[in-house]
Amino acid sequence: MKKLVIFIVLGTLILGLIGCNGKTTAPSTNNTTTPETSDENSVVLLADSHYQYSTFSTENIKILHLDITENVLVYDKDMNELNKDDILYLNNQKYEIKSSYILNQTDEIVEFYLESENLRTLVKITKSDKEVPYIISSTLVVADGTKDLSFQFELFGGNVKQISATNMTEDYYEVVGNILTINKEYIALMFETEDEFIVNYALETDQLVIGFISISAN
């Protein structure tokens, strides 16, 4: 009989992970909640970008909620510029955070800034030793309903067993491999009556992992 593992996900905090509490503004860097401007370079500071990552994972983290261009810069917490080729990988015109970089860091929370087109976000990646499926992307998201939202899972050879939400049909979402995409039409429809709604997911290997994603209107 399969074990049932219930992960109640609040922000980027999942049971079994040392999480950090924060919202990720999605799906693009043009969609911010309380932007701040740096006088030095007129840089707009976006909401922090939260991820979680297991030391048993090998796949890069896909940057799904930010519009990163080729002029992207990477800085440490003290604003010293880092070699972006050590941290980022360009895959089909989309940037990913290298697994090798994350795993080589000794801190439990890996932090650095991404800056592109005068937009800057602090990336926070919480590491764990999780061996069951989990969601890599942030699970507390702020959106406006004009763009699709995508989320990355670590399945460890398993599958996305179920996606469910209020009035959600299969026409409103798509699962390709370990990527869930929720259509903008559904998000806009929910925002007509709700300021926040929940999307539930179930991930399956020899164990069943249940969690949810919270999507709020900005």
Alpha-carbon gap, residue 155 to 152, rounded angstroms: 9
Instruction: Tell me how many degrees the CA angle 18-131-108 measures, rounded to the nearest 5.
Output: 30
What's the predicted TM-score (pTM) here?
0.83
Query: Domain limits of the chain?
Result: 3-217
Which residues on neighbouring strands pair with residue 204, listed in sequence order? 159, 208
Distances (CA, A) of 59 to 7, 141, 178, 181, 182: 21, 22, 11, 18, 22
Q: What is residue 79's three-state secondary structure?
A: coil
Amino acid at 169: T
Q: What is the pLDDT of residue 196?
A: 97
Q: What is the pLDDT of residue 15?
A: 35
pLDDT tens profile 116-146:
999 999 999 999 999 999 999 999 999 999 9
pLDDT tens profile 196-218:
999 999 999 999 999 999 999 98
Q: What is the pLDDT of residue 93?
A: 87
In the chain, which stretches have pLDDT less than 70?
1-41
Q: What is residue 170's three-state secondary structure?
A: helix
Q: What is the pLDDT of residue 17?
A: 35
